């Protein structure tokens, strides 16, 4: 795999897990795994700066705010903090601070790193005026009504105007009580206190938030003219009535940082709340301002993470779980063991490569870790304790859920079910993707509706959407007759689509919007695409062996072909297009930025692509032209720095006539 492809794959994976963690409160990977992916991407972008883009996960934090809440633009960005995992990284941080400040010693404010949801509180005229989540760091969600239900947040203070930042979390005992109630009601339990707290803050009904027994701890006071120290600011917040962590401290140097880390590590299990590390901050606020920020994190702060807790137990069996994207994950069924504060009975083995590398067998004694205090994993096997007879596990050739063929590409470690449109395990994800804005654009068909349609077994494949009646939709929970009628109209409208939208909607692995557009322009209709060999697919612009193989695997699965036939039978239609003309000269690469007056950017894209040329999303050395409209931003600056030819809208129109 090329560096560019690996960077793109990492970004896609990280954005997926950002959404699961920050918006859906349902993480699929551990914090440690996420950190490893992010570090790999950071290293690749550092080695290849031309691949770095403003929307990369390395350049921002969190995830895009949810649509059901009003957006709040943070006056000062709410950034994440860089991580350290060993003593050498802490010492390197201290060295950077001393060199940046040209001093021999730096004093630090230190405190536990809460595992909760970061929020900002704004007070005007002494009253709580607004509460917002961090969101993507620049824009958050207005959750004022919900935060008002958190008893430890003051509604009135003796200060006319103030912005306070802190963490909403749930004590361990309250979390255990909540899950006990969930079990009693036969409802899904929460993964950890952090997800329970985050989910409560994003409830549309603030009465649910109030029932969760949430807590708030302040950790920063926002000031436009920083003076004094961070420790003094926390003392001031405490006097104003804000809860502030009692375990905070001030240390004189790097040795103090390491001693504090060890001290809190010993106290960790005794704390009433979950932490995953400690935070170090340069104490003097003017020094913080002098050291400054990188794109997604303050330079003056560092989070020193603790290693995950580990225990030993026995592997009773190995099964396979099929994820929402079709990934098959081997899971070890364990003899129950108490790890990280909970009893663990299952642990992920990630994929076949990891299973073979660790040589995990049924009957083995293994070390289990709750990595990041989230998902248990098997760390290693105690070979010296291996019994005489053990059983080696082999990945299945058929999906255990739907029976479709299991495929594994050479460049991937993961086995996948090929029945994307058919497999029940992938059904919800496939339907949400099918209905998304860039695919079939079915407005109103969101996650809540899809969950009910699948759970009630009303929809099995996308074609079933077009069989839904007004009565069936009206019977769904929180679905009024008018909303149901609107959705029926949206479904009817979506029957008329374009080939590129349909191809993208199918959810073929590795086929994004741009590739779907290239495939539509190359083949002109679905039937020749469905029958195309890998060699024929490789003739399409930017389709390499991996993408060609993914397309072929998708259409080779009978279940997918049947789902497509059902779609056509349900009335989904698209105009057949003339295959793109073969260019006499080289393909030119364009990037569009800013606002155009005579056409939209989508129209400009269509005009360029109709001439057989490409429109990319970011500027690189391979870009031929950047077309700049009004209010053009960083892409224009990047083009100037690289010496890329810059066109105005009028110049683009003239060029298109001659291309």
Give the residue numbers annotated as catalytic, written as ranges: 113
Give the burial class of 338: count Cβ atoms within 10 A of its Cβ; 0-12 exposed, 13-18 middle, 19 or more buried. Answer: exposed
Which class for 570: exposed (0-12), middle (13-18), buried (19 or more C-beta within 10 A)? Answer: middle
The answer to whether residues 274 and 172 touch, using CB atoms and an 8 Å cutoff, is: yes
- H helix or E strand, kind and range, residue 84: strand 83-84
Match 């029945």 to its residue by tokens: 419
Tell me how far CA of residue 445 lies from CA of 24, 419, 428, 557, 614, in angstroms.
Answer: 17, 22, 11, 27, 32
Query: What are the start-end ranges of the E strands in 259-361?
Result: 275-282, 301-305, 310-322, 327-339, 342-348
Say how many Å lie between the first and final Cα of the chain, rounded: 33
Rg (CA), the chain: 27
326 φ, ψ (degrees, to nearest 5): 90, 0
Widest CA span of the chain, in angstroms? 78
Strands (E) located in 134-192: 139-141, 161-169
- Helix (H) / strand (E) containing 513: helix 513-523
- Helix H segments across 134-171? 144-147
CA distances for 249 relative to 87, 107, 244, 246, angstroms: 19, 11, 11, 8
């Amino acid at each position: 795999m090329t560096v560019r492809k690996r960077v793109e794959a990492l970004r896609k994976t990280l954005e997926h897990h950002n959404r699961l963690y920050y918006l859906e409160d349902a993480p699929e990977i551990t914090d440690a795994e996420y950190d490893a992916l992010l570090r790999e991407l950071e290293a690749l972008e550092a080695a290849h700066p031309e691949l770095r883009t403003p929307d990369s996960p390395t350049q921002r934090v969190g995830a895009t705010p949810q649509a059901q809440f009003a957006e709040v633009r943070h006056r000062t960005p709410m950034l994440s903090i860089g991580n350290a995992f060993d003593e050498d990284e802490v010492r390197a941080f201290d060295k950077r601070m001393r060199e940046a400040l040209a001093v021999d010693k730096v004093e630090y404010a230190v405190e536990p790193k809460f595992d909760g949801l970061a929020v900002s509180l704004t007070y005007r005229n002494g009253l709580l005026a607004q509460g917002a989540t961090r969101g993507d760091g620049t824009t958050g969600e207005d959750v004022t009504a919900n935060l008002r239900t958190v008893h430890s947040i003051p509604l009135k203070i003796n200060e006319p105007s103030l912005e306070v930042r802190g963490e909403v979390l749930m004590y361990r005992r309250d979390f255990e009580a909540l899950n006990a109630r969930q079990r009693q009601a036969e409802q899904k339990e929460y993964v950890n206190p952090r997800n329970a707290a985050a989910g409560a803050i994003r409830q549309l009904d603030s009465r649910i938030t109030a029932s969760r027994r949430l807590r708030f701890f302040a950790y920063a006071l926002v000031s436009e003219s920083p003076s004094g120290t961070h420790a003094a600011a926390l003392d001031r917040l405490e006097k104003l009535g804000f809860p502030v962590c009692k375990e905070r401290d001030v240390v004189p140097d790097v040795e103090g940082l390491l001693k504090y880390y060890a001290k809190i590590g010993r106290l960790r299990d005794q704390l009433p709340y979950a932490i995953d590390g400690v935070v170090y901050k340069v104490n003097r606020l003017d020094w913080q301002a002098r050291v400054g920020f990188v794109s997604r994190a303050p330079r003056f702060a560092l989070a020193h993470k603790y290693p995950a807790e580990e225990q030993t137990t026995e592997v009773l069996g190995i099964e396979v779980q099929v994820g929402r994207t079709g990934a098959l994950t081997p899971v070890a069924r364990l003899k129950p063991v108490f790890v990280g504060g909970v009893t663990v009975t299952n642990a992920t083995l990630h994929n076949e490569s990891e299973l073979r590398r660790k040589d995990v067998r049924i009957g083995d004694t293994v070390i289990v870790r709750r990595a990041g205090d989230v998902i248990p994993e098997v760390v290693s096997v105690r070979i010296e304790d291996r019994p005489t007879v053990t059983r080696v596990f082999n990945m299945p050739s058929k999906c255990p859920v739907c029976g479709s063929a299991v495929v594994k590409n050479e460049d991937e470690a993961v086995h996948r079910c090929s029945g994307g449109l058919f497999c029940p395990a992938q059904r919800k994800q496939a339907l949400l993707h099918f209905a998304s804005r860039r695919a079939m654009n079915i407005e109103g068909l969101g996650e809540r509706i899809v969950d009910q349609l699948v759970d009630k077994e009303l929809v099995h494949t996308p074609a079933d959407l077009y069989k839904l009646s007004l009565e069936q939709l009206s019977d769904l929970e929180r679905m009024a007759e008018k909303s149901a009628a609107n959705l029926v109209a949206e479904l009817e409208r979506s029957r008329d689509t374009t080939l590129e939208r349909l191809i993208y909607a199918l959810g073929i692995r590795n086929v994004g919007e741009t590739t779907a557009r290239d495939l539509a322009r190359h083949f002109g209709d679905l039937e020749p695409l469905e029958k195309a060999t890998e060699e024929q697919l490789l003739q399409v612009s930017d389709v390499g062996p991996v993408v060609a193989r993914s397309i072929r695997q998708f259409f080779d699965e009978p279940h997918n072909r049947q789902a497509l036939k059902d779609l056509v039978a349900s009335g989904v239609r698209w105009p057949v297009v003339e295959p793109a003309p073969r260019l006499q000269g080289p393909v030119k690469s364009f990037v569009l930025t800013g606002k155009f007056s005579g056409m939209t950017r989508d129209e400009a894209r269509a005009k360029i692509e109709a001439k057989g040329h490409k429109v990319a999303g970011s500027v690189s050395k391979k870009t031929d032209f950047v077309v700049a409209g009004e209010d053009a931003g960083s892409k224009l600056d990047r083009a100037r720095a690289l010496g890329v030819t810059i066109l105005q809208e009028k110049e683009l129109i003239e060029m298109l006539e001659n291309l």
